[in-house]
Amino acid sequence: MNSNKNGEISIEKSSLFNARVAGIFYFTFLITAGFSQLVRNNLIIPNNIAVTVSNIITHNLLYRISFVTDLIGSTSYIFLIFFLYKLLKSVNKNIAKLMVILVLIGIPIAMLNQLNQFAPLLLLSGADYLKVFDTNQINSLIMLFLDFYKHGVYIADIFWGSWLIPFGYLVYKSKFLPRILGILLMAGSSGFLIESFVMTLIPDYQILTYPGLAIGTIAELSTIFWLLIRGINVSKIEKN
């Protein structure tokens, strides 16, 4: 009897640990991605090559830091999905595996896309091989790579949206996490998916992406802080 009770306590502690650590990595991604996005929004001015290039030159170190924080954020996602899998595999192992697969496809796409964000730094490096280009050509190439980056994000959005569907389903079915979070996560997946297709097919209608992205943001923020602050309802663990 004591052995069974000790085993249950051990499982509860392990599950609570997995939830909290997942929350920490999720929060790490939130901070790093948020910082990088803030830097880009302030330095990169759409349709204004001169100001954008001037901003990157003037704030070179800040731009480099934003690149590094993006890499940290993407790396933290690998650890996030590892601990979420450990937490949720008891709910449905196959769905949990699908969740992992979708994230592990999205991460390399996002990280390789970050090369497009780094390209302006190479173009502004003054390397000898760049002497065949004049200033206007280099500036145009910088904006081209930044556009590549933006559209690369829309490709990655397919997987950033898709993984929230199995994640939300597992949360909904888990009993040890609030069902409302699962519903929000599944609904929020539409934001990333809609953005991906709208910005590719009908970019003039970006406004169509706002409701879904708002739901997705609320869903992920709520999940992050629930995992960090509340963790899980350990009394429900044995029911899975």
What is the model's pLDDT at position 14? 85
DSSP string, the chain: -HHHHHHHHHHHHHHHHHHHHHHHHHHHHHHHHHHHHHHHHHH--TT-HHHHHHHHHHTHHHHHHHHHHHHHHHHHHHHHHHHHHHHHTTT-HHHHHHHHHHHHHHHHHHHHHHHHHHHHHHHTS--GGGTTS-HHHHHHHHHHHHHHHHHHHHHHHHHHHHTHHHHHHHHHHHSSS-HHHHHHHHHHHHHHHHHHHHHHH-GGGGGGGHHHHHHHHHHHHHHHHIIIII---GGGGGG-
**Mean per-residue pLDDT of the chain:** 91
What is the model's pLDDT at position 185? 96
Full residue range of the structural domain in which residue 185 is found: 2-239
pLDDT band at 239 (very low <50, low <70, confident <90, very high): very low
Mean pLDDT to the nearest integer, 162-181: 95
For residue 32, what are the CA distances in angstroms to 37, 72, 74? Answer: 9, 7, 9
> What is the total count of domains within the chain?
1
What is the model's pLDDT at position 9? 52
Mean pLDDT to the nearest integer, 187-208: 92
pLDDT band at 10 (very low <50, low <70, confident <90, very high): low
Give the separation between CA 106 and CA 236, rounded to whole angstroms: 32
Token pair belonging to 139: 């500036």
**pTM recorded for the entire structure:** 0.90
What is the model's pLDDT at position 236? 65
Please report how many Cα atoms fall inside a 13 Å half-sphere around the Cα of residue 208, on the Cβ side.
Answer: 14
Do 102 and 162 meet the contact criterion of CB atoms below 8 Å apart? yes
Give the separation between CA 16 and CA 147, rounded to whole angstroms: 42
For the cut 90, the answer to whether the pLDDT of residue 164 exceeds it is yes
Mean pLDDT to the nearest integer, 156-175: 96
User: What residue has token string 């998916």?
Assistant: 193
What is the model's pLDDT at position 240? 45
Q: Identity (one letter) of the amino acid at 74?
A: S
Mean pLDDT to the nearest integer, 128-132: 93
Mean pLDDT to the nearest integer, 89-110: 96
pLDDT band at 233 (very low <50, low <70, confident <90, very high): confident
What is the model's pLDDT at position 175? 87
- How many CB atoms neighbour CB 64 within 10 A? 14
- How many CB atoms neighbour CB 58 within 10 A? 11
pLDDT in tens, 31-66: 999 999 999 999 999 889 999 999 999 999 999 999
Give the separation between CA 228 and CA 211, rounded to whole angstroms: 26
For the cut 60, the answer to whether the pLDDT of residue 204 exceeds it is yes
Mean pLDDT to the nearest integer, 82-100: 96
For residue 204, what are the CA distances in angstroms to 195, 198, 200, 207, 220? Answer: 12, 8, 10, 8, 27
pLDDT band at 232 (very low <50, low <70, confident <90, very high): confident
What is the model's pLDDT at position 238? 52
